[in-house]
Amino acid sequence: LIIGGVLLTGGSNGLNQVWEREWDKLMLRTQHRPIPQSRMSRNEGIIISTLAGLSGIALLWICINPASGILGLAAFFLYVFVYTPLKRVTSLAVFVGAFPGAIPFMLGWVAATNEFGIEPGVLFMIQFFWQFPHFWAIGWLMHDQYQVAGFKMLPSGARDHSTAFQTVF
C-alpha cells in the first residue's frame, strides 16, 4: 500500500509539474522544480511520472485488491486530467481537487478490508472538507504568485472578506 501510494502520488505530482512547467517558472514557490530549471526534460518527466503512476495503480490493483486499484486510478485521473488544467479556468478546481486529496484515506480502509462502508465514507468526508481551508489558506498566502501564473485558487478570486468568510466557515 505504501509503495503503491508513493508511486501513484509521485506520478500524479510529476505529471502536474509537466503540465504546469511554464507557469511554475513564474512563481517563487515552484520555479526551482526540475523541469522549469531544465534539470529534467518534459519528455523525461512524462515518462517517469507515467510509469510511476501506472505502477502504483497496478500494485494497488494486483497486490492488494481491484477496489484499491480503482480508487487509485480515480485519484490519478482526477488530479492530473481534471484538477490540474481546471486551476487556470475556475476556482472550482479546489472542489475537484478535494476528491483525489481525500481518496487515500478511503483507499487505506478499502485496502485493509476490501469493503466500502460508512467507515471509509466518514474518513473520506473528513479529509474532503479539510481540503477547502487547506487549499484556500495556501491560495491566500500565495495569491499574488498564483495570479501572475493565472491560477484561480480563491473562491471569490481575491483576498477579500468573502474568501476569508468561506475559508473560516
For residue 100, the one-letter residue type is P
For residue 4, the one-letter residue type is G
- With cut-offs at 50, 70 and 90, classify the pLDDT of residue 164: confident
Write the Ramachandran bin of 151: left for phi over 0, alpha for psi from -120 to 50, otherwise beta: beta
| Mean pLDDT to the nearest integer, 9-23 | 96
CA dihedral 10, 16, 19, 22 (to 10 degrees): -100
> Is pLDDT of 158 > 90?
no
Q: Quote the cell numbers at residue 114.
A: 476490501
Q: Are 37 and 31 in contact (CB under 8 A)?
A: yes
- 1 vs 159 pLDDT, higher one: 1
pLDDT single digits (tens) 62-108: 999 999 999 999 999 999 999 999 999 998 999 999 999 999 999 99
Write the Ramachandran bin of 157: left for phi over 0, alpha for psi from -120 to 50, otherwise beta: left
| Of the candidates 15, 35, 16, 12, the residue with the CA atom closest to the CA atom of residue 25 | 35
Task: Round to the nearest angstrom and report the end-to-end CA distance of the chain.
Answer: 34
| Of the candidates 104, 82, 70, 62, the residue with the CA atom closest to the CA atom of residue 15 | 82
pLDDT single digits (tens) 122-146: 999 999 999 998 989 999 999 999 9
- pLDDT value of residue 52: 98
Find the angle CA(4)-CA(8)-CA(9) to the nearest 5 degrees: 120
- pLDDT value of residue 26: 92
Hey, how many other C-beta atoms are within 10 angstroms of the C-beta on 129? 12
> Is pLDDT of 165 > 90?
no
- pLDDT value of residue 169: 83
- pLDDT value of residue 126: 96
> Is pLDDT of 167 > 90?
no
pLDDT single digits (tens) 23-70: 999 998 899 999 999 999 999 999 999 999 999 999 999 999 999 999
Helix, strand, coil abundance in the chain, percent, nearest 5? 75, 0, 25
